[in-house]
Chains A and B, each alone.
Chain A
Amino acid sequence: MEMEEIKQKILEFMQKKAKSKSKIYLKDMQRAIPDAKPMQIKKAANELVREGKLEYFSTGSTVMYSLPGQDLEKGMTSE
Chain B
Amino acid sequence: MGDIKKHETPTIDDLKKGPFPSFVDDIEIFGLNKKKQACLDLLGQLELSYKNKETHWKHGGIVGVFGYGGGVIGRYSDQQDKFPAIWAFHTIRVNQPASKFYHVSALRKLCDLWDHRGSGMTNFHGSTGDMVLLGTTTEQLEPVFFDLTHQMNMDLGGSGSNLRTPSCCVGKARCEFACIDTQALCYDLTMTYQDELHRPAFPYKFKFKISGCPNDCVAAIARSDMSIIGTWIDDIRIDQEAVKAYVGGELKPNAGAHAGRDWGAFDIQKEVIDLCPTGCMSWDGNKLTIDNKNCVRCMHCINVMPEALRPGTDTGATILMGAKAPILEGAQLSTVMIPFIRLEPPYDNLKEIVENVWMFWMEEGKNRERLGELIQRVGLANFVETVKLKHIPQMIREPRSNPYVFWKEEEVPGGWKRDIAEFRKRHPA
Query: Which A residues form the contact surface with B (CB < 8 A)?
Result: 25-28, 30, 38-39, 42, 46, 49-50, 55-63, 66, 72-73, 75-79
Contact = CB atoms under 8 A, between A and B. Distances in A.
A42 B62 contact: no
Interface stretch (B165-173, B343-351, B360-368, B405-413): B360-368
B67 A57 contact: no
A63 B69 contact: yes
B121 interface: no
B58 A73 contact: yes
Contact of A63 (B59, B70, B137): B70
A8 B136 CA distance: 36
B74 interface: yes
B24 interface: no
Contacts of B78: 75
A27 B367 contact: yes
Interface stretch (B15-23, B28-36, B180-188, B199-207): B199-207
A61 B160 contact: yes
B161 interface: yes
B367 to A, nearest CB: 5
A28 B367 contact: yes
Contacts of B159: 58, 60-61
B95 interface: no
Contact of A60 (B59, B66, B67): B59
Contacts of B366: 27
B161 to A, nearest CB: 5
A66 B62 contact: yes
Nearest to B73: A60
B65 to A, nearest CB: 10
A57 B150 CA distance: 26
Contacts of A59: 59-60, 73, 160
Contacts of B202: 26
B161 A63 contact: yes
- Give the 4 A-B residue pairs with the shortest CB-CB distance, closest first: A63-B160, A59-B60, A60-B73, A63-B200
Interface in B91-106: 91
Contact of B61 (A30, A42, A50, A58): A58
A60 B367 contact: no
A11 B131 CA distance: 36
B208 interface: no
A58 B362 contact: no
B69 A62 contact: no
Nearest to A38: B362
Contacts of A50: 66-67
Contacts of A55: 62
A58 B70 contact: yes
